[in-house]
Amino acid sequence: MSDQHNQSDEQNTRIPDGEWETIVANVPLVSVDLVIRHEGGVLLGLRENEPARGEWFVPGGTVFKNETLTDAVHRVADEELGVEVSIQSRLGTFQHFYDTSEVEGVDSKHYLATAFEVTLDNEHFTTDTQHSQLEVFEPPYEGLHPYVERYLDALD
């Protein structure tokens, strides 16, 4: 879940912090999450920022204005992992409610996240500043964040 808050890929301008705070405080964020099948399991990143800091989570990010969901999937894969992906299926849209936020003064965050099952087009992925490490988790999946478990249940 990328917390980068650019308005659109074309404009490539940051939303001013005060406006971003107002958005996070009042509006659900539209996002995409990537459930990456890899080496018999699912590739997860250890999150370094809120929400879900310290949890193993799927890569994801906010959808920019005028950006399609599939374009967002490919942008997030490039930004967070440095790879291209192939979309295998759309798993559905999920609601995520967090009682934390990266925005000072805002104590919660709400996402409408559309999850996509994807595969990597190459094996040379990297971590970004949001993830301290990446790891492949194999079934049976246990002890993961409940939102990740919901995605994994949707794979079956």
**What does the DSSP assignment read for the chain?**
-B---BS-TTT--BPPHHHHHHHHHHSPEEEEEEEEEETTEEEEEEE-SSSSTTSEE--EEEPPTT--HHHHHHHHHHHHHS--EEEEEEEEEEEEEES--SSTT---EEEEEEEEEEEESSS-----TTEEEEEEE-SSP-S--HHHHHHHHHH-
Domain boundaries defined on the chain: 17-155
Instruction: Read off the pTM.
Output: 0.88
Where does 17-155 sit in CATH, by number? 3.90.79.10
Mean pLDDT by 10 residues, the chain (156 residues): 44 74 96 96 95 96 95 96 97 97 93 98 88 93 96 92
**pLDDT tens digits along 104-141:** 989 999 999 999 999 999 888 888 888 899 999 999 99
Say what the pLDDT of residue 80 is: 93
